[in-house]
Structure 1
Amino acid sequence: MILEQQNDIRTGEDNHYLLEVRNVKMYFPITGGVLQRKIGEVKAVDDISFGIRRGETLGLVGESGCGKSTTGRVIMRLYDPTEGSIMFDGQDITRMKGARLRQIRQNFQMVFQDPFSSLNPRMNVGSIIAEPLEVNARVSQAEVRERVSYLLNVVGLPQEASLKHPHEFSGGQRQRIAIARALILNPKLMVLDEAVSALDVSIQAQIINLLDDLREQFGLSYLFISHNLSVVKHVSHRVGVMYLGRMVEVASRSQLYSSPLHPYSQSLLSAAPEVSRKARRERIVLTGDVPSPAKPPSGCAFHTRCPKAMVKCGEIRPELQEVMPEQFVACHLY
């Protein structure tokens, strides 16, 4: 498993991983009939393992429906994983409940794709940003106002914004509000689920630069979930590639974008637009449809569409293993 091979981070004294995801599965039941009995399950996340270092941005890419967002929600403990464990800052949060979970959850926050639907339209911006602090910490109203004022400045919004409501702002400004709300409790990790995909390209660049500045200023770690390979290339230190609920490749940004090893990673990158002609790759067109996560193929999930598939690809599931320094691939070719 990837976490065991990365300098044995489970047992090493110098554990520089803030988050460790170990063999996590997230299956959703399918029910049917008059009694709504379970007749199957959707394997949204199917046995994935990875880690995020302190101060690092890990990009998570893949086609729609591959399990990226579900992975983020499992890490946030919005879903209880079916199997596996999640270690955050040395603590096992997999089955935490109640007050203990609420306390540790202050250390990891999430920014969603649609900033409008994630903000309460009945509350003004100051109240939206302040709410997590008022609920989770015993602080005076003066301290709350000071913290809100500080964060508005940090995310590039005027002080008078605190008195307005979400509908009075543009999409980019709303996302700045959502980021300020996520920062109010001084988290260590932020899960960014398609946080810029709903924005115009010029606004995307502004938000990405803001996130970069915030990571350095506050020592944050990010899980950056996106289908936009160009954005992920800009913001990430390492990148994980998911396909049908499974992690097929994890590598540094430079390794993945210059020499992807998994055939699925190669096909994704071949479809990404490149400005430089020298950087352009030959387009790899995949045949067939993405299989259903309710009935994933045996062996390697990608073998039904892979141009390099072998007989054993349909029989034996490849494990994620290090084939190059810091480059992990789940493929029988290696």
Structure 2
Amino acid sequence: MSQRNRIDVHQHIVPPFWADALPAHGGDPSGWKCPAWSVESALAFMDSQQIATGVLSLTAPGVKGWSGQAKRDIARKVNEFTAGVVARHPARFGNFATLPLPDVDGSLAEIAHAYDALNADGVVLLSNYDGAYLGDPAFEPVWAELDRRHAVVFIHPAMPPLAQMTGIPGPMLDYPFDTTRTAVQLVLNGVISRYPNVRIILSHAGGFLPYAAFRIAEVSAIARTDAPSAAGILDLMRTFYFDTALSSPSALPSLAAFVSTDRVLFGSDFPYAPAHVSGAFTAKQDESAVLNASQHNAINRNNALALFPRLAALDQ
């Protein structure tokens, strides 16, 4: 393992039972193929990219295609499968638990199981559930419980409720857009202010948020009478964490200009981004002169250690 020892906060698990059942439960509306995955292939990729630990999450569409008790059951099965991988390789993997949203009661029960029985490192939420974004008042009990637990929440984009353009799958363009949508709603609906103990990671350098932040902040006062000041909105946006998965080299200067680099975390998006694709993005990040050596080290590892006490304890 190289001295970089990256911690990858955007790495996916593909449980075989979930992948097998997905086509009968709506498939993936983004148009992306479900890749092959195994512990062995993940470790081989990680070693090739100097990744010490990958915090695993179920990607979109998650368990959205299931309903009722079946949705709760498949979320539980995914979480226990992931916890089993972590138990066998505690230093190499972590677990962002899946919740059966928009089922709030089921999600509260799964948060309790994930933290109290499975020792999860955090939870993964999708940017929207059936068109309801994460700042929706219906999700308030979930945010309150996550705040009580000082949770790390990884927000992964999902397909927005609009027609997909022919030949342009959701992960290419629509996913960064949906991350931006939910992040702005979380700020303007007051979720970030009400639940300051939750540490939220936005995928893919925050979508378009850093690039459009000043526009959003200034226009909010025109659009909404309940909006904080422009400066207040910018401050709230800067409380997010941002991963680097599939972030163009031209995005890094914008991100570094918008937020302190202690809020930036390494991400790969493996295996949905194949090894050669993810590796190309990582190489560009490593070459970036926007960051000094200390900032590169912080993004690769040190910033994540501050979020994940279990991993920090292993580092002693």
Determine if the TM-score, normalized by the shorter chain, exceeds 0.5.
no
**Larger helix fraction of residues:** 2
Q: State the structure with more CA Rg.
A: 1
Instruction: Please give the range of the TM-score, normalised by the shorter of the 2 chains.
Output: 0.3 to 0.5
**Larger strand fraction of residues:** 1
